[in-house]
Amino acid sequence: MVKAIIAPSMLSSDFANLASEAERMLNCGADWLHMDIMALHSSAVTECCICALQDGHFVPNLTLGAPIIESLRKHTKAYLDCHLMVTNPLDYVEPLGKAGASGFTFHVEASRDNWQELVQKIKSKGMKPGVSLKPGTPIEEVYPLLDGENSVELVLVMTVEPGFGGQKFMPEMMDKVRTLRKKYPSLDIEVDGGLGPSTIEAATSAGANCIVAGSSVFGAPDPAQVITLLRGSVEE
């Protein structure tokens, strides 16, 4: 019905050795590489850096963008699963498409007014459109994006507050996954945050098939073993 997809989050990798870290994960059995794109809005940063961190921004962190995706693309053919934690995802479609991103998952909270245009543009650049939702956002908010012509092909259910790796999995988010899986049997349902050997069962039994894991994979003495374990838990 659905395929198991294991996507190590490169946020937990050694950024100074991104290409070799990517290769290491692929050799360990990764299907996708999850790329967390977080940015602070430039005009607000100029205004006041501290305020920018406190409000008006999607997450209080800054990671990587199109130039790094472009550099990594030169070293790998892997599926680059980009998770956009930005307030203005539309601005990123063109540069990320050019850079060689494979998937473009934006947040529903950041696209209430323009998701149709966004999905259309993502598809026109040859990327797979996905939508993500924060823990506080009800699942019903993504329904309009799953029906009709400009529909997304993946839903990413956040199982931590977006912004940082290494946080604790929120099991209460599994109700969203269960509800979604009932409604959409063949949809790619991705979970992100706090996933590892001790939490995977909760996620896969609820119906998740696409598993993002950062610290549990990169922090393991044998990442291949963890990837195999995560994959084994997904009901295909």
Contact 132, 155 (CB under 8 A): yes
- The dihedrals phi and psi of 10, each to the nearest 5 degrees, come to -70, -5
Binding residues for substrate: 9, 83, 163-166, 194, 214-215
In the complex with ligand DX5, which residue's Cβ is closer, 8 or 129?
8
Which tokens go with 139? 């699942």
Binds 209, which of ligand DX5, Zn ion, none (CB < 5 to 8 A, cut-off by type)? none
CB burial of 155-192 (b: ≥16 within 10 Å; e: otherwise) equals bbbbbbebbbbeeebbeebbebbbebbeebeebbbbbb
- The dihedrals phi and psi of 196, each to the nearest 5 degrees, come to -175, -175
Half-sphere CA count of 201, side-chain side, radius 13 A: 2
In the complex with ligand DX5, which residue's Cβ is closer, 164 or 184?
164
Binding residues: 9, 34, 36, 83, 163-166, 192, 194, 214-215
Catalytic residue among 31, 36, 81, 188: 36
Binds 167, which of Zn ion, ligand DX5, none (CB < 5 to 8 A, cut-off by type)? ligand DX5
Binds 40, which of Zn ion, ligand DX5, none (CB < 5 to 8 A, cut-off by type)? none
Half-sphere CA count of 111, side-chain side, radius 13 A: 30
CB of 128 to ligand DX5, least distance (A): 17
CB of 50 to Zn ion, least distance (A): 25
Q: Closest by alpha carbon to 85, among 133, 50, 136, 123?
A: 133
Binding residues for a divalent metal cation: 34, 36, 83, 192
CB of 105 to Zn ion, least distance (A): 8
Catalytic residue among 31, 81, 188, 192: 192
192 is catalytic: yes
Binding residues vs ligand DX5 (CB under 6 A): 9, 11-12, 34, 36, 83, 160, 162-167, 192-195, 212-216
Q: Angle at the Cα of 153 (from 13 to 66), degrees rounded to 5? A: 40
Binding residues vs Zn ion (CB under 5 A): 36, 83, 192
Active site residues: 36, 192
